[in-house]
């Protein structure tokens, strides 16, 4: 499964479903974001449909970053039925991200 490119136009629609969504707030110039990229791609590839993975480029979608109080990147937020339920800031491992789904 490919990660979703989230924009202000599709964001609310994509996060409001029954399936939890990991949303990676990132930027191309961000070194720690680049470190997280393989983990995010792996999560997207390994998804069995029990979760989805989306990405928000904060340079292109500043409005979404402000809306969710993202001031440091990378920030990963898990959304369930449109609500932000878990948040991780900085570089974390895959297990920590998967634990966000289960906790």
Taking only the tens of pLDDT, the chain with its 103 residues reads 688 999 999 999 999 989 999 999 999 999 999 999 999 999 999 999 999 999 999 999 999 999 999 999 999 999 999 999 999 999 999 999 999 988 6
Give the Å distances, CA to CA, from 20 to 13, 31, 80, 81, 98: 13, 27, 5, 7, 11
* Predicted local confidence at residue 1, as pLDDT: 62
Catalytic residue among 6, 15, 33, 53: 33
d(CA 54, CA 14): 9
Thinking of the domain 4-102, which architecture would CATH place it in? 3-Layer(aba) Sandwich (3.40)
Catalytic residue among 27, 30, 84, 92, which?
30
Domain segments of the chain as ranges: 4-102
The predicted pLDDT at position 65 comes to: 97
30 is catalytic: yes
pLDDT value at position 37? 95
Q: Is 66 a catalytic residue?
A: no
**Residue 4, H or E segment:** strand 4-5
pLDDT score, position 102: 80
């Amino acid at each position: 499964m490919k990660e979703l490119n989230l924009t202000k136009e599709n964001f609310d629609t994509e996060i409001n479903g029954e399936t939890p969504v990991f949303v990676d707030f990132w930027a191309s110039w961000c070194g720690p974001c680049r470190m997280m990229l393989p983990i995010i791609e792996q999560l997207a590839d390994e998804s069995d449909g029990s979760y989805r993975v989306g990405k928000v480029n904060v340079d292109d979608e500043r409005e979404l970053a402000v809306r969710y109080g993202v001031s440091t990147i990378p920030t990963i937020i898990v959304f369930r039925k449109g609500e932000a339920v878990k948040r991780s800031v900085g570089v974390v491992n895959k297990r920590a991200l998967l634990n966000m789904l289960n906790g």
